Amino acid sequence: MKLTCVIFLFLCSTAAYAQQAGTVSISGEVTIPEKLKKDSVWVWMYITLPFTGENKIYKTLLDPHGRFSLMMDTQTDLTRCAVSTDIDKYDQVAFFLKNGRENKISLSYSDSGSISKLKTSDNPGFTEEELIQSQKKFTEMLDYISGKPREALYNKPFSAYVDHLNNYLQVKRTVLNKPPFLSERMKEILFKDYSLAEYYMSVFNYHASMVINYMNTNDRKMPDSSEIKKPVREDYSFLKDLDLNNPLYLYCFSYPTFTQELLKNSALDIPRIQDMPIREWTKNVKEILGHLIGLDQGLFYDMLASNAYAVQFEIELRPLTLKQIENIKNYYKGGDLEKILLRRNEEVVEQARLKKSVVINTTPDVSPEALMSAIISRYKGKTVIVDFWATWCAPCLEAMKESRDLKKQLTGKDAVFIYISSPSSPRKLWERDIQGIGGEQYYLTAEEWRHLMNSFNFSAIPSYLIFDKNGVLKQQFTEYPGNEEMQKRIEAVL
């Protein structure tokens, strides 16, 4: 009990969430039953870098003895990450990396193909069993359905939707109180992580959520634009209840995405940082957010400032200007956040060099029924990958970032990526976001979008079509499958 209390205090101390730019080493061993062994097994590491808003994936092959080693970037003294192998890529366990020491981990699989044992060099206050169970519990929250009938919310005040979501979250929270049992601290991390994801996907994208709500309660009919009200800045006073300075958020995979979606939110209308000095920009932001979040200083404002640059990095793939570099050095004065931002900037400079230029296409002047054929006919002799996306769709944007490496692998091959969006993405925001995507861009009318989604039986995004060089549709699917699988699908058509 004494050891648990001591480590518990460490997890919540200032030192635990101090920014610390660095690279940590991790070595490990995976034990696999004979009947599950393959010629080659990949290890996948998933890590969030909160101050530059990156969700990074590292992978490496096990050696013949089942061992591996990796070097990983980190931005905090203690970092939560997840690991799996391609025995079952989705069977993940969470663990913690500690800066300043070699990190070790060992996994063992049961005959059924699930991870049954875990040992780590750092598990601050958590049992190894709950580290194994934590990701499974998160998946249970995702999958849990209350069974209650759908309620019409599109015709009610914005606050009614927030109340509805909060009640829904509390129902989801009951999953965490069922066996196998977790510590209160782990339950709090998982609930915060899940809650932030719900807020940025649902509340921050209120219009899209209400369109879906209208369709679900009106026999799949689309609403008239006047039937859904737009939230205003003061509607976001619910942020005060989230305790956004809580250091436990740094162990939540959703925290940086939540922060970036807040910065992009049209109702809050937070100014872009551009070449503005950080102190001046932060002062302006506090005037907008201070009374809404109940905070005027602390960790969350550090997150906002660094992620203001991260939006530029991650969405636009645009390096820092000389003035921005000067502002960062003047404000952080050689501290860890300066190192973090400048290190990321060096990577973006290289990525931007390889980025394809943006081509904004006029939509063919044909009927909705003939639209897709007319678009594909513009790229005769090439394999065409069509990506249906939106500026408010966080999984879409994550897929865009992940696929940058894939596009490098396809350079010089007869493949072209085209991107299709609609008025659900505000035109001004769309024009900004496509700068970091590149490729062939189309902005359809609501009617054209609706027809294409219906004709291919898509009900969610991101969704994809792959056409061969003769314009014949070969594959269609929803949800990005990861670079490795996506490359296989594209090359099968190539």
Contacts for 310 with CB less than 8 Å, ≥ 6 apart:
51, 52, 53, 54, 256, 260, 344
Is residue 189 predicted with pLDDT exceeding 80? yes
> Which of 326, 349, 270, 348 lies closest to 303 in space, CA to CA?
270
**How much of the chain is helix, strand and coil, in % rounded to 5?**
50, 20, 30
How large is the average pLDDT for residues 469-474?
Answer: 94
Quick one: pLDDT at residue 225?
A: 66
Stretch among 26-40, 222-236, 285-299, 382-396 having the lowest mean pLDDT: 222-236
> Which of 249, 266, 248, 270 lies closest to 258 in space, CA to CA?
249
Mean predicted lDDT score pLDDT of the chain: 89
**SS3 (DSSP) at 444:** coil
Is residue 301 predicted with pLDDT exceeding 60? yes
Long-range contacts of 475-478 (CB under 8 A, 24+ apart): none
Quick one: pLDDT at residue 424?
A: 84
How large is the average pLDDT for residues 408-420?
Answer: 89
> Which of 10, 446, 46 lies closest to 208 in space, CA to CA?
446
Is residue 3 predicted with pLDDT exceeding 80? no
Domains parsed from the chain with CATH numbers: 2-125 (2.60.40), 128-231 (no CATH), 358-493 (3.40.30.10)
Quick one: pLDDT at residue 256?
A: 87
> Which of 484, 357, 313 lies closest to 409 in space, CA to CA?
484
> Which of 456, 468, 452, 464 lies closest to 380 in space, CA to CA?
468
In angstroms, what CA-CA distances link 221 with 211, 225, 311, 420?
Answer: 9, 12, 35, 22
Predicted confidence (pLDDT) per residue in 268-284, tens digit: 999 999 999 999 999 99
pTM of the model: 0.84
Quick one: pLDDT at residue 21?
A: 67
How large is the average pLDDT for residues 93-115?
Answer: 91
Stretch among 220-229, 306-315, 412-421 having the lowest mean pLDDT: 220-229
Predicted confidence (pLDDT) per residue in 338-373, tens digit: 999 999 999 999 888 877 788 999 999 999 999 999
Quick one: pLDDT at residue 4?
A: 26
Quick one: pLDDT at residue 8?
A: 30
Distance CA 363, CA 198 (A): 34
Percentage of residues in the chain having pLDDT higher than 90: 66
- Whether 302 and 337 have beta carbons less than 8 Å apart is answered as yes
pLDDT band for position 19 (cuts 50, 70, 90): low
Quick one: pLDDT at residue 14?
A: 34
Quick one: pLDDT at residue 269?
A: 93
Predicted confidence (pLDDT) per residue in 302-324, tens digit: 999 999 999 899 888 899 999 99
